[in-house]
Amino acid sequence: MTAVLTGIGGFLPPRAVTNDDLSRTLETSDEWIRTRTGIRERRMVSDGLSTGSLAVEAGARAMRSAGVSGVDSVVVATTSPERLCPAVAPEVASRLGLGTVAAFDLTSACSGFLYGLATAAGLIDSGTADTVLFIGSEAFTTLVNQEDRATAPIFGDGAGAVVLRRGEPDEPGALGPFDLGSDGALADLLAIPAGGSRQRSADAGLGHGTVPTPDWYLRMEGRPLYTQAVERMTQSALTVLKRADWPVADVDWFAGHQANLRIVRAVAEEMELPEERVAVNIDRVGNTLAASVPLLLNDYAARGALRPGQRVLLSAFGAGLSWGSTVLVWPDIQAEPVN
């Protein structure tokens, strides 16, 4: 038996922030952002919305898509938790009326959806759960310095969710083999220095000295990250295709993490995959980290571009450094358009 995708949902906060909006406070322009990232607008949390509330909305839609009112476990992938302790997943489960089911968070930044799929599949494969609600949810713009021209234009907020059930390996929606990897030696290429046990604020009464304000926000080394992302996603994607015995020519859609349009296109080019088979929505949502891939899948399924029986390759890369890939044949499920 294996994990089978049986429902999908997504949610975006209503506040849209365009490149022109950003250029009013940053030394940048719509053209500069679009030519370097492919992004023209992104959604940002406001009015009390947070990682948990986004997750609840996306999770409810995924459960409606799957036609279920309950699951055995809830897993939330996020790099922008509501707070350092406790995890947000139990609260999400409670707000969804799921009672006292097992619930926990995992953190793997932009590759969180792939790591989370593998984790949820493990719960099912081991017999621990028959059904899992897995959600990638991020309010990451709250951790980005909105005065930093290098990072502020890139990120957006949102949540994407899937319901997985126990099923047969050869049925549509069954998750294929996984490839996961990491390189912690390069962790500082993309990191938020402060907030954890390594670097705390004197305001907390811990006596470690005052943390410089910039250390509370994301730091990114763009050039080496680009090289790593293209190399790691390409290798991972090709590895999982080989394990699944899928020729590249058989892939109908490449659903890669939406970090940067140039990265996604470069990976497809390295695999010799035609551009018309590359799924893209970064122009409207930006980089939503763990929510990126499920939001992309929900978008294409909701508008009929992703159809039952099509072969889909998923791949992502993020902080850690970490990366992962898997494949599936798209099932016959309904997806609601995000707001």
Query: Looking at the DSSP assignment, which residues form a beta bridge with residue 137?
Result: 159
Q: Catalogue the active-site residues.
A: 110, 257, 287
Could you give the CA distance from residue 116 to residue 154 in angstroms, rounded to a whole number? 23
Half-sphere exposure of 42 (CA within 13 A, CB side): 32
User: Mapped to the 3 state alphabet, what secondary structure does the chain carry?
Assistant: CEEEEEEEEEECCCCEEEHHHHHCCCCCCHHHHHHHHCCCEEECCCCCCCHHHHHHHHHHHHHHHHCCCCCCEEEEECCCCCCCCCCCHHHHHHHCCCCCCEEEEECCHHHHHHHHHHHHHHHHHCCCCCEEEEEEEECHHHHCCCCCCCCCCCECCEEEEEEEEEECCCCCCECCCCEEEECHHHHHHEECCCCCCCCCCHHHCCCCCCCCHHHHCCEECHHHHHHHHHHHHHHHHHHHHHHHCCCHHHCCEEEECCCCHHHHHHHHHHCCCCHHHECCCHHHHCECHHHHHHHHHHHHHHCCCCCCCCEEEEEEEECCCEEEEEEEECCCCCCCCCC
d(CA 129, CA 75): 12
